Amino acid sequence: MGRKFFGTDGIRGRTNAGVMTAATAMKVGQAAGTYFQRGDHRHRVVIGKDTRLSGYMLEHAMVAGFTSVGMDVVLLGPLPTPAVALMTREMRADVGVMISASHNPYEDNGIKLFGPDGYKLSDDDELAIEALLEEDLPLAAAEHVGRARRIEDARGRYIHAIKGSLPHAVRLDGLRIVLDCANGAAYTVAPAALWELGAEVIAIGVEPDGRNINHGVGSTHLDAIKAKVREVRADIGIALDGDADRLIVVDEKSQTVDGDQIMALIGSRMAAQGALRGGAVVATVMSNLGLERYLHGHGIGLIRTAVGDRNVLEAMREGGYNVGGEQSGHMILTDHGTTGDGTVAALQVLAALVASGKPASETLHVFDAVPQILRNVRFAGGRPLDDATVKAEIARAEAELAGKGRLVIRPSGTEPVIRVMAEGDDARQVAAIVDRICAAVRKAA
């Protein structure tokens, strides 16, 4: 069946428009609550959220949905997505919910669901819940309606867990760190964790007002953290996104360190320690060819997947790998969690910086990226990639890049856009190839 509600990462949309309404949230609570009531124990769901104004509305609507079908609710308040995954497992919950639209502006919101193992739901689970959303579900008898309670120690539990991702002997004393929390879900827990490990923390993006999440701050808006790193002469900057499942790093010279560099650093360091399972790192087709060459030069494989942290995690679980991520900053370290965690990845980066004794600019830029260009071409309808002229241009480009570059052409999964990415050793050749393909797509569209 087609998907009406679930996309590539849960349900997401504009608040009070389309699917992202209180009515939908209540129905999702009823459907997920019905689906996950298995066995004869008292059933429980944990619900976390980021700092969006609409989080209040959606949170209470979901409480109504879950309790109406007989499931008890534990409210965690504002917490990162990986914290919700952790608390789902720790509290022996049947299902976990994160209310967030990640790096999107505050006007959007979303619902992510986790199974009792703390992993995002499979396609089969999502399709089953989709089917239930279209049904009239039986409600619990009056005496079996669920209860709701809010717990106050969830933040402390999460801070304790992420600090445990580092060896006890590792401390961050002497490091001056600018930490940008995007006015989002990690605005209290991330600064506290770094401070407890000994760092001097200069925090920005820690004054959420319901409307400023990701607004000019966070991993998708780096001007603020770069300026602050220069202003306070910090050793490093760490930028999280709205739900803190991704990060981008800035060195002491305000140069960007993206997810590819972070994967190279963590993967090679773990390989040297004998801790890299499967002898490979998992990344997507968008990761730079320079990463692949660097890893191969160190005897480490690179497994590529389709775009999306969910695809990365699926490949990691199937192959038994423990390091994966995306160029955009999603870092999945399965030794320490079941989903991407920007703060845990930041701690691994900081541990490497401490161990090196060198500036971040020397430690974190571990390979030279190959020239890469990504361009989006919007189209009104049809299937421009099926056009004979577009196919011929793509074939010509692939022949030109053979052995010295890569080409990735794909339609967006969320909007009428064709994404054209090319990379290779010759920057002029790459630019010319992208120009030609984009022109062909526009003409076909």
Where in the sequence numbering do the catalytic residues fall?
Answer: 102
Beta bridge partners of 44: 72
DSSP 164-226: TTS-TT---TT-EEEEE-TTSTTTTHHHHHHHHTT-EEEEES----SS-TTSS-STT--HHHH
Q: Identity (one letter) of the amino acid at 64?
A: A
Beta bridge partners of 377: 418
Residue 280 in 3-state DSSP? strand
CB count within 10 Å of CB 233 equals 8
Please report where in the chains the tokens 């967030």 appear, as a residue: 100
Closest of 180, 158, 311 to residue 241, by C-alpha: 180
How far apart are alpha carbons 220 and 241 in whole angstroms? 7
Q: Identity (one letter) of the amino acid at 240?
A: L
Beta bridge partners of 420: 375, 409
Residue 50 in 3-state DSSP? coil
Q: Alpha helices of 358-426 — where are they, by DSSP H?
A: 360-363, 388-401
How far apart are alpha carbons 328 and 312 in whole angstroms? 13
